[in-house]
């Protein structure tokens, strides 16, 4: 069950391309909790999950994985991925060891 969604945008000369991000409710599976997510990249969607000892840890880790996936993407590196405004970040947390990648408001709030 999807509990949250955000639509990012890839700025393309031929027209903007939406990049929906969907986060599902944590679920208990095989002795631990997982929280699935999908990033619908135009070239190939990415399905993954965060896993934890409880539902909150799984949710937190899934959101951090989303943030890292966005910052590690070719679209971010090319400067064409945006959420509300170009260069202002994506509004997802990122693990401490990746915070040097942050830009804009993400950098302000995570620093």
- What tens digit of pLDDT does each residue of 49-68 get? 999 999 999 999 999 999 99
Give the Cα separation of 58 and 52 in Å (integer): 4
Number of domains in the chain: 1
Burial of 7 (0-12, 13-18, 19+ CB in 10 A): exposed
Q: What pLDDT is attached to residue 6?
A: 98
Q: Which residues pair with 6 in a beta bridge?
A: 21
Tokens of 61: 């880790």
- For the CA atoms of 55, 111, 87, 11, the dihedral, rounded to the nearest 10 degrees, stands at -20
Q: What pLDDT is attached to residue 110?
A: 59
Query: What is the domain extent for residue 24?
Result: 2-110
Residue 91: pLDDT over 90: yes
């Amino acid at each position: 069950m999807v509990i949250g969604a955000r639509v990012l945008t890839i700025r393309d000369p031929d027209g903007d391309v939406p990049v929906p991000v969907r986060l599902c409710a944590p679920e208990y599976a095989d002795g631990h909790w997982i929280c699935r997510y999908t990033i619908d990249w135009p070239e190939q969607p990415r399905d993954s999950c965060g896993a934890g000892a409880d539902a909150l840890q799984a949710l937190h880790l899934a959101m951090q994985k989303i943030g890292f996936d966005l910052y590690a993407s070719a679209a971010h590196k090319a400067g064409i991925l945006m959420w509300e405004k170009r260069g202002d970040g994506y509004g997802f947390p990122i693990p401490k060891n990746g915070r040097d990648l942050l830009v804009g408001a993400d950098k302000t709030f995570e620093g």
